[in-house]
Amino acid sequence: MPTPFRVLAVCSGNVCRSPAVERLLASRLGAAYRRPPAPGGTRRLVPGVEVASAGTGAVAGMPISDHMARLLVEHGCDASGFVARQVTPGMLRQSDLVLALTAQHRSQVVRLEPHAAVRTFTVRELARLLLSLEPADLPGTGATTADRLRAIVPLAAARRRQVPPQPQDDDVLDPFLGTEATYRAAFAQLAPAVLEIAAAARR
């Protein structure tokens, strides 16, 4: 079986924003994500894309926060079986695309694993860069979602040098310990970006 294309979402505590990206993107791509082992400890077949998440200061061992879990369920996603974990250089080396939730998280990722710089974007930054791509830029008929994601990474990295940065628009606010309204505001910032990335990979 070919090696899957691996996406890693990174925020601070890995209980709010990055789990939302993990589960929403996996849902829209039909991708695998971290979950408890199947009965008997057997592994399920791995599809072409895997989506995971981690935190730069993870609340390790905790589930997705209740407010964010409810938002994910509202949007047809599975919020069960999640366990927060700390990001490591090894995770970054194994990832083909890293989606940070803020510019600061992106900087932390690059400090931890400098070679990940070319494949690390904030989630909103990548969505913005994809708007400048033409359908002809990506693999066409017969290409898989993984094929398109593999093509997107270098194309977006090249566009990053050409498209003026908009750092004020690239961060997703941190809702941790906030109200339901704060969680909804954060979700409203990240969800359109995730959907744009999924649409580009599946068009």
Question: Which parts of the chain sit beneath pLDDT 50?
Answer: 41-46
Q: How many CB atoms lie within 10 A of CB 144?
A: 16
CA distance 162 to 129: 10
pLDDT at 47: 63
Q: Which residue range forms the structural domain that includes residue 32?
A: 5-202
**How distant is the alpha carbon of residue 44 from its chain centre?**
21
pLDDT at 36: 54
State whether residue 53 is helix, strand or coil: strand
pLDDT at 15: 98
In this predicted model, what pLDDT tens digit does every residue of 22-52 receive, in sequence order? 999 999 998 877 665 555 544 444 469 999 9
CATH of the domain at 76: 3.40.50.2300
Q: How many domains does the chain have?
A: 1
Residue type, 191: A
Q: What's the predicted TM-score (pTM) here?
A: 0.92
